[in-house]
Amino acid sequence: MRVVFPILDTDTQYTGAMTISSVLKKAGHEVFGIEAVAETVCDVLADGTPTIIAFSTPTAFVLSYLELAAQIKARYPDTFCLFGGWHPTYAPDLIEEAGVDAICIGEGEMALLELCGQLDRKEAPAGIGNLWIKHANGSIEKNPRGALLQDLDTLPLPDRTFMKSGQPEYYYIIASVVTQRSCPFNCTFCVNNAFNRLYKGENPHKRRRSVDHVIAELKEIKSHGKLEFVKFEDSIFTLHPEWIKEFSEKYARDIGVPFTCFVRAETTSEEMMADIKRAGCVSVAIGVEVGDEKVRSEIFNKHITNAKLFEAVRIIKEAGLKIRTHNIIGIPGQDIQTDIGTLELNAKLKPDYAAVGFLQPYPGTEVYDDCIQKGLISSDLREYLANMPTSYIEPALALPNAKATLQARNLQRLFAFTVNFPWLLPLVKRMINWPLTGLYRFVYGGWKSYAYFFKIWPVSLKQLVVLVRRAKRMAS
């Protein structure tokens, strides 16, 4: 069987799809990713080879992928279109859309393996755990979820060669790596919380690859002679002190490439920060979310005090690590003063870069459900998706009026720069009222590029060229 992944953002390293590719190739199937362009996909299908078109589906891309599936079906109606990933997991009614033959709920490695086997044997797909299948008569078979794979070491290493077109060198120069799945915390805005609720009782957050398995992946990447930086994409990298200690020793010895990772205030012990610093970590990201402790606790279910954030930042800085904070504005029930308060807290924390974006309620999250109950977003998911921005720099929720929208959009653009130059804040409070959002966008982009290239990541000329090319592709 041939499986083709159309990818809209070929610069994002879809480690889930890459792992599925390895699983399927090991079983003898042909797998590759291509750019999500109708003509490109149809050119592949023209040879008549039975093919599964597999869409790895973040919420922001759902409508684009549905349109692409419709275009494919118009020319090759017998092509099997499967939608998997976060969105169909939490919005399974996607199966009812035209052009969708099946959806995968939860993890897809074993489900796709079984699906490929059935189609190879020319059987009508049926009885596959994690899959909802639309049959020829229009009926929908809703199979139960299969058990979670507990031992992640049984999976082969992610396939970094699976992109057939649009393959960026970015995959091997700046590599994204995932060492564990899900997260033990329950932030209301996060899909990991939704995943934990979906698999309640199976401890989905307690699954982590062994250090040796992770190091083996990194050695394979490094063997290509291009690796210069690693981004560990785990929601929280520093969860297990003993794992971190073993990892740090082996990473420093066998890999020795600078890296960045995500931490949480409760997981920033002096010992762990010293360990990852010795291993080669140059920067960490930490979620502040909002300056108001009550909002952070009651709306986001993140029970971290500002005092705890100051303590964590102190430990990180004393370890010699750079800091990137993550922040959210446009929160339901709050106003521009809450957002300015978040900026002011960041100015006191003094991170090397303060990332900020508008709240985007995703299906399956508690924030999404709350917004529907309060009438802040349409209960018609298609209508919501049609108006949902693909970038965090635009509001997903309607703000009270045009003035509030202008202020919030302008503050987003000026936020990071002002955090690093807080003496500008009195002026910025006036500037957010001026209709200069386009100009402020240049401030945002310029400062972000400078901070990432020269503060957060130690950029070589090779990395700089790759990142500039990536930025140009994203802009286009």
Query: pLDDT tens digit string along 10-40?
Result: 778 889 999 999 999 999 999 999 999 999 9
Mean pLDDT of 172-186: 92
Greater pLDDT, 251 or 204: 251
DSSP one-letter code for 163? B
Q: Assess whether pLDDT exceeds 80 at residue 389.
A: yes
Q: Within this chain, do residues 221 and 138 fall inside the same structural domain, yes or no? A: no
CA distance 57 to 85: 5
Mean pLDDT of the residues in the chain:
93
Q: Within this chain, do residues 259 and 341 fall inside the same structural domain, yes or no? A: yes
> Residue 268 belongs to a domain with what CATH number?
3.80.30.20
Residue 28 resides in a domain? yes
Mean pLDDT of 333-353: 97
Q: Can you give the pLDDT at residue 426?
A: 97
CA distance 359 to 287: 13
Q: Assess whether pLDDT exceeds 70 at residue 468.
A: no
Q: Within this chain, do residues 365 and 462 fall inside the same structural domain, yes or no? A: yes
Residue 153 resides in a domain? no
Residue 382 resides in a domain? yes
The tokens 């997981």 sit on which residue? 267
Report the candidate in 260, 162, 172, 272 with the shortest Cα–Cα distance to residue 217. 172
Q: 420 CB contacts (<8 Å, ≥6 apart)? A: 352, 353, 354, 447, 451
> Residue 63 belongs to a domain with what CATH number?
3.40.50.280
64-76 residues labelled b (16+ CB within 10 A) or e (exposed): bbbebbebbbeeb
Q: Within this chain, do residues 94 and 183 fall inside the same structural domain, yes or no? A: no
Q: 233 CB contacts (<8 Å, ≥6 apart)? A: 15, 176, 177, 178, 262
Q: Within this chain, do residues 126 and 177 fall inside the same structural domain, yes or no? A: no
Concatenate the DSSP letters of all residues of 170-185 into one string.
Answer: HHHHEEEE--EES-S-
Portion of the chain with pLDDT greater than 90, in percent: 83
Least confident of 268-277, 420-429, 451-460: 451-460
Q: Within this chain, do residues 293 and 405 fall inside the same structural domain, yes or no? A: yes
Mean pLDDT of 135-152: 93
Q: Can you give the pLDDT at residue 194?
A: 87
60 contacts 12 by C-beta, under 8 angstroms: no
The tokens 């807080």 sit on which residue? 422
Q: 152 CB contacts (<8 Å, ≥6 apart)? A: 180, 181, 207, 208, 209, 213
| Measured CA distances, 163 to 15, 101, 171, 296, 433 (Å) | 12, 24, 10, 40, 45
Residue 249 resides in a domain? yes
pLDDT tier, 454 (very low <50, low <70, confident <90, very high otherwise): confident
Residue 87 resides in a domain? yes
Q: Can you give the pLDDT at residue 225?
A: 84
Determine how β-strand 322-329 pairs with β-strand 281-289. parallel
Q: Within this chain, do residues 319 and 417 fall inside the same structural domain, yes or no? A: yes
Mean pLDDT of 101-120: 96
Mean pLDDT of 355-374: 95
Q: Assess whether pLDDT exceeds 90 at residue 409.
A: yes
Q: Within this chain, do residues 254 and 332 fall inside the same structural domain, yes or no? A: yes
Report the candidate in 256, 253, 308 with the shortest Cα–Cα distance to residue 282. 256
For the sheet with 174-177, list strands across it.
174-177, 229-232, 259-263, 281-289, 322-329, 353-358
Q: Can you give the pLDDT at residue 163?
A: 87
Q: Within this chain, do residues 136 and 212 fall inside the same structural domain, yes or no? A: no
- Residue ranges making up the domain that contains 117: 2-142
Q: Within this chain, do residues 372 and 254 fall inside the same structural domain, yes or no? A: yes
Q: Assess whether pLDDT exceeds 80 at residue 171.
A: no
CA distance 162 to 301: 39
Q: Which of 126, 142, 158 is the last residue of a domain?
A: 142
Q: Assess whether pLDDT exceeds 80 at residue 471.
A: no
Give the per-residue SS3 of 284-302: EEEEEECCCHHHHHHCCCC
pLDDT in tens, 219-254: 999 998 889 999 999 999 999 999 999 999 999 999
Mean pLDDT of 408-416: 98
Helix/strand/coil for 225? coil
Portion of the chain with pLDDT greater than 70, in percent: 95
Mean pLDDT of 146-156: 93
Q: Within this chain, do residues 18 and 125 fall inside the same structural domain, yes or no? A: yes
pLDDT tier, 338 (very low <50, low <70, confident <90, very high otherwise): very high
Residue 78 resides in a domain? yes
CA distance 213 to 246: 12
pLDDT in tens, 257-301: 999 999 999 999 999 999 999 999 999 999 999 999 999 999 999
pLDDT in tens, 210-220: 999 999 999 99
Q: Can you give the pLDDT at residue 455?
A: 85
Residue 176 resides in a domain? yes
CA distance 105 to 129: 9
Structure tokens at 462: 């090779």
| Measured CA distances, 353 to 93, 386, 414 (Å) | 39, 32, 12
Q: Assess whether pLDDT exceeds 60 at residue 52.
A: yes
Q: Can you give the pLDDT at residue 169?
A: 67
Residue type, 445: G
Total domain count, the chain: 2
Q: Can you give the pLDDT at residue 262?
A: 98
Q: Assess whether pLDDT exceeds 60 at residue 473.
A: no
Q: Assess whether pLDDT exceeds 70 at residue 336.
A: yes
Q: Can you give the pLDDT at residue 467?
A: 62
Q: Assess whether pLDDT exceeds 90 at residue 332.
A: yes
Q: Which of 95, 124, 142 is the last residue of a domain?
A: 142
5 contacts 54 by C-beta, under 8 angstroms: yes
CA distance 407 to 389: 18
pLDDT tier, 69 (very low <50, low <70, confident <90, very high otherwise): very high
Q: Within this chain, do residues 138 and 174 fall inside the same structural domain, yes or no? A: no
Residue 373 resides in a domain? yes
